Amino acid sequence: MADFQIAPSILSADFARLGEEVDNVLKSGADIVHFDVMDNHYVPNLTIGPLVCEALRNHGVTADIDVHMMVKPVDRIIPDFAAAGATYITFHPEASEHIDRSLGLIRELGCKSGLVFNPATPLSHLDYVMDKVDMILLMSVNPGFGGQSFIPATLDKLRAARKMIDESGYDIRLEIDGGVKVNNIKEIAEAGADTFVAGSAIFNARDENDANDYDTVLKAFREQLAQVK
Positions in the binding site for ligand DX5 (CB under 6 A): 9, 11-12, 34, 36, 68, 141, 143-144, 146-148, 177-180, 197-201
* 31 binding Zn ion? (CB under 5 A): no
Q: Which is nearer to ligand DX5, 46 or 104 (CB)?
A: 46
Q: In this complex, which beta carbon is closest to ligand DX5, that of residue 85 or of residue 143?
A: 143
Among 36, 39, 66, 134, binds Zn ion (CB under 5 A): 36
173 binds Zn ion (CB under 5 A): no
| Identity of the residue, 9 or 102, whose beta carbon is nearer to ligand DX5 in the bound complex | 9
| Whether 75 is catalytic | no
DSSP state string for 96-114: -S-HHHHHHHHHHTT-EEE
* Residue 144: contacted member of Zn ion, ligand DX5, none (CB under 5 to 8 Å, by partner type): ligand DX5
Q: Which of Zn ion, ligand DX5, none does residue 199 bind (CB under 5 to 8 Å by kind)?
A: ligand DX5
Which DSSP string corresponds to 168-184? HT---EEEEESS--TTT
Q: Are strands 135-139 and 112-117 parallel, antiparallel or unpaired?
A: parallel
CB atoms near residue 2 (< 10 Å)? 11
Separation CA 157–CA 135 (nearest Å): 15
Residue number with CB closer to Zn ion (102 or 195): 195
Pick between residue 24 and residue 118 the one whose CB is nearest to ligand DX5.
Answer: 118
**Dist CA 81 CA 209 (whole Å):** 38
Question: Contact between 66 and Zn ion (CB under 5 A)?
Answer: no
Burial (CB count <10 Å: 0-12, 13-18, 19+), residue 226 = exposed
Nearest approach, Cβ of 137 to ligand DX5 (angstroms)? Answer: 9
177 is catalytic: yes
For residue 5, the surrounding DSSP H or E stretch is strand 5-8
Please state the closest distance from residue 108 (CB atom) to ligand DX5, in A: 25
Q: Which of 31, 39, 134, 177 is catalytic?
A: 177
Q: Which DSSP category does 12 fall into?
A: G
**Rounded to 5°, angle at Cα 102 from 160 and 198:** 50
Q: Does 92 bind Zn ion (CB under 5 A)?
A: no
Q: Find the catalytic residue in 31, 36, 66, 134.
A: 36
**Are 202 and 217 spatial neighbours (Cβ–Cβ below 8 Å)?**
yes
Q: Which of the residues are catalytic?
A: 36, 177
| Binding footprint of Zn ion on the chain (CB under 5 A) | 36, 68, 177
